[in-house]
Amino acid sequence: MSQYITLEKAKVTKKHYENFPVATLLFPKKHRDAATLLYSFARDADDIADEGKLTKKQRQKLLREIEINIDAIKLKKEIQTPFFKDLEKVISEFSLDINLFERLISAFKQDVEKKSYKNFNDLIDYCNNAACPAGEMILRLFGEHNKTNISYSNYLCQALALIGMSQDIYEDLLKGRLYIPITEMKKFRLKKSDIKSKSFNPSWKIFKVSWLKRIELLLNKGRPLNENVSGRLKLQINILISGADLLIKRLKKDDCDWFMNPPKISKLDWSILLFKTVIYKK
- Whether residue 220 sits in one domain with residue 138: yes
Q: Please count the structural domains in the chain.
A: 2
What does the alpha-carbon distance between residue 230 and residue 31 come to, in Å, rounded to a whole number? 15
- Domain hosting 169: range is 116-282
What does the alpha-carbon distance between residue 33 and residue 24 come to, in Å, rounded to a whole number? 9
- Whether residue 181 sits in one domain with residue 130: yes
Instruction: Give the amino acid at 116.
Output: S
Q: How confident is the model at residue 280 (pLDDT cuts 50, 70, 90)?
A: low
- Whether residue 215 sits in one domain with residue 126: yes
Res 25 pLDDT > 80: no
Q: Are 163 and 247 in contact (CB under 8 A)?
A: yes
Please identify, among 84, 113, 142, the residue that sits at the C-terminal boundary of a domain.
113
- Residue 125 Cα to chain centre, angstroms: 14
- Whether residue 251 sits in one domain with residue 269: yes
- Whether residue 166 sits in one domain with residue 66: no
Going by C-alpha positions, the residue among 232, 278, 273 that lies closest to residue 138 is 232
- Whether residue 128 sits in one domain with residue 258: yes
Domain holding 48: CATH number? 1.10.600.10
- Whether residue 258 sits in one domain with residue 142: yes
Write the CB contacts of 206 (distance below 8 Å, at least 6 apart in sequence).
188
Q: Are 156 and 241 in contact (CB under 8 A)?
A: yes
pLDDT in tens, 192-207: 999 999 999 999 999 9
- Whether residue 139 sits in one domain with residue 103: no
- Residue 167 Cα to chain centre, angstroms: 13
- Whether residue 122 sits in one domain with residue 84: no
Please identify, among 78, 113, 148, the residue that sits at the C-terminal boundary of a domain.
113
pLDDT in tens, 167-197: 999 999 998 899 999 999 999 999 999 999 9
* φ and ψ at residue 213, rounded to 5 degrees: -65, -40
pLDDT in tens, 27-72: 888 898 999 899 889 988 888 988 878 888 999 999 999 999 999 9
Write the CB contacts of 79 (distance below 8 Å, at least 6 apart in sequence).
69, 72, 73, 85, 88
User: For 95, which DSSP code?
Assistant: T
Note the pLDDT of residue 279.
Answer: 67
Instruction: Give the amino acid at 263.
Output: P
- Whether residue 222 sits in one domain with residue 170: yes
- Whether residue 166 sits in one domain with residue 154: yes
- Whether residue 187 sits in one domain with residue 98: no
Please identify, among 113, 128, 158, the residue that sits at the C-terminal boundary of a domain.
113
State the average pLDDT over residues 16-27.
58
Q: Are 229 and 240 in contact (CB under 8 A)?
A: no
Give the three-state DSSP class for 117: coil
Note the pLDDT of residue 65.
Answer: 93
